[in-house]
Structure 1
Amino acid sequence: MKILPKNERESLMKDAQFTVTIPPEEGLAMKANLNIQWHKLRIMRRWLKSWGAEMASERKQRNVMRDKVEAIDIRAEAIPLSFELRNGNRELRPSPLGYVGDLKGLLFHVLEENKSLGKLTWHGDMIPSDEIWIKIGGDKGGSSFKMSFQIVNLARPNFVQNCVVFALFEGPDTVTNLHIALDRYTDIIEEIQNSKWRNYSIRVFMFGDYQLLCHLYGLSGASGGNLKHAKLYGNVIGQRFFDIPLTQESQIKKQETIIKKGFDKEDGVFVCALDNALASFRVERQAYHGGSFIGNHIHRALKEQNIDTLCSSVVDTAQAYDSALLPKAFLIEEKFKKALTLFAKCHTLYDGKALFTQEDIIMLDVSI
């Protein structure tokens, strides 16, 4: 067939009534990717048929959608929203609202889909390995306002196809209208923040333009015309919509600082953990002489059980502050447990009064 000219090849295939069959799964995927309605898909199916491509019937595609695609609880209703009139007054009139009934279920469903496709990423440990980050926010476009969430654990979280809209209404995004449309999600978003997907904790952030964030956090917003001073004006005039902290970035930086200074002699978290481990078997470090052990305490510190307690404190501290450090913490635990165990053998021989045997000398040589 390939050696024939293109026109002859097409004519021959048409005379032979050669067709290409598009299965219902592929047809349904095409409908979703092109974001077209069923009636437009019927037009496309007829056009494809004229060119020898047979697409599965709409009934078969709907059966696949019913059997294999998880249903999402989407609801619609008319709600009273506030609109400004030309004379400056306001009036309430019914406006359409579409929203997802089970936001948590939708979020977990999208996470499962992305995990099955291998799309989840932690951006080179920029996100803690035991956390999933979610951004929730809104955007006014034309005459409608939409709320959506984005999974930060994707390669391109801001990409339009990675934005999942869960609420949409026709009307201005005033504080009153936002409360009418979005108050239903206050408890759900708090529940999401305190829940886990698989073994991952969920951290939620807000996004949006300055005006929207002021509305959602109940702030009066900036005063004056100098936008550089906008952050200086944060007067609280209303109740926040969602209990999502504004200071999470500061908390993360504070956590990073704590870890970075973990081995400072004064108050490093790892040093404090080591001191607590020593105190558990009544061993202290001297305040002077470089913090070395009191002589009589060395025997106690070099017992096998106490070595385990001392070395495991590094792993426990890493688990408490930043689980991304666990692989390194395990290496440190293994390294020093081995070193202290070998030193304990040497110390026992050196501190004893008996003469060294040939076996003792060999063991010292191996341990050192």
Structure 2
Amino acid sequence: MKMAVGPTYSQQREIRRVLKGRGVKIAHEGAERKVVKELIGDDVTVTEMLFSSADDDLVEKQIMKPTNISEKLTKLLESKRESLTWHDGAIPENEVWVKVGGDHGQGSLKFSLAVVNTKNPNSKDNNILIGMANIKDSRENMEIFFLSCQKAVW
């Protein structure tokens, strides 16, 4: 409901109060923040960036991203060290491949890194979320995001 209606935080509190009076529980803001913290971690920054809109205007949007993406990727690789695979020679044995991507859904674009040298590279356990913003999915917006990451934290 929250995604479809897009209420403000004060409106969400009122909806939660009314629903609670009728015996319906709904996640509160703290629970939502906890999920974001679990997905991205403690080192999250919120920054303003200029992205492209559907009509080619530049729009300023807030985006959440970790402050140190290379550290997060290193930790992920360390945790996968014992289970790395080279897919029967498809990947050279002296290389580890990392897939950079974005996925739009439920009104936001999520940016991620995935270790390809794993049995199931698209599994949630082999991906790390490195950013999220309420923007359209476009090559230009992904380029803007990843160039900012390259300058800031790599």
Match of 1:20 in 2: none
Q: Any idea what SS the aligned residue of 1:167 has? A: strand
CA distance in 1, matches of 2:85, 2:144: 36
SS of alignment partner, residue 102 of structure 2: strand
- The total of aligned residue pairs comes to 119
Match for residue 80 of structure 2 among 114, 127, 142: 114
Match in the other structure for 1:79: 49
| Map of 1:165 onto structure 2 | 129
* More helix, by proportion: 1
Report if the CA contact (8 A) 2:50-2:58 is conserved.
Answer: no
Is contact 1:97–1:181 with CA below 8 Å preserved after alignment?
A: no
Contact 1:95/1:171, CA 8 A, preserved across alignment: yes
Would the alpha carbon gap of residues 75 and 39 (structure 1) be closer, same or farther in structure 2, given more than 3 Å must change? Answer: closer
Unaligned runs of 5+ in 1: 1-35, 41-70, 192-368
SS in 1 for 2:88: coil
Matched, 1:151 2:121: no
CA shift, 1:38, in A, is 9.8
Please tell me whether the aligned partners of residues 63 and 132 of structure 2 are also in contact (alpha carbons under 8 angstroms): yes
Q: In the aligned structure 1, how far is the partner of 2:124 from the partner of 2:145?
A: 23
Q: Which of 81, 85, 98 matches 2:64?
A: 98
- The structure 1 residue matched to 2:146, chosen from 182, 187, 206, is 182
Match of 1:139 in 2: 103
For residues 97 and 132 of structure 1, the distance between their equivalents in structure 2, rounded to whole angstroms, comes to 28
As a proportion of its length, which structure holds more strand? Answer: 2
Distance 1:169 1:159 in 2: 22
Query: What secondary structure sits across from 1:113 in the alignment?
Result: helix
Shift of 1:181: 2.7
Distance in 1 (CA, whole Å) between partners of 2:52 and 2:84 is 41
SS in 1 for 2:148: helix
Contact 1:138–1:146 at 8 Å: present in 2 too? yes
Q: Please tell me the residue identity of whatever aligns with 1:166.
A: I
Q: Quote the Cα distance in structure 2 between the aligned partners of 1:142 and 1:99.
A: 18
* Rounded Cα–Cα distance in structure 2 between residues aligned with 1:127 and 1:161: 20
Bigger relative contact order, structure 1 or 2, given CA contacts below 8 A and separation 6+?
A: 2
Does the C-alpha gap of structure 1 residues 155 and 97 become closer, same or farther in structure 2, counting only changes over 3 Å?
A: same
What is the CA–CA distance in structure 2 between the aligned matches of 1:169 and 1:38, rounded to whole Å?
Answer: 18
* Contact residue 47 and residue 62 of structure 2 kept, 8 A: yes
Cα pair 1:83 1:91 within 8 Å, conserved: yes
Matched to 2:68, the amino acid is D
CA shift, 1:177, in A, is: 3.6
8 Å contact 2:108–2:134 — kept in the other structure? yes
Larger radius of gyration: 1
How far apart are 1:37 and its partner, in Å? Answer: 8.8
C-alpha distance in structure 1 between counterparts of 2:56 and 2:145, whole Å = 21
| Equivalent runs, 1:61-72 vs 2, <5 Å | none
Which runs of no fewer than 5 residues in structure 2 stay unpaired?
1-26, 32-40
Q: CA offsets per residue over residues 89-112 of structure 1, 9 Å max, x none?
A: 8473x4220112222221111111
SS at match of 2:117: coil
Query: 4+ residue runs of structure 1 moved beyond 6 angstroms?
Result: none
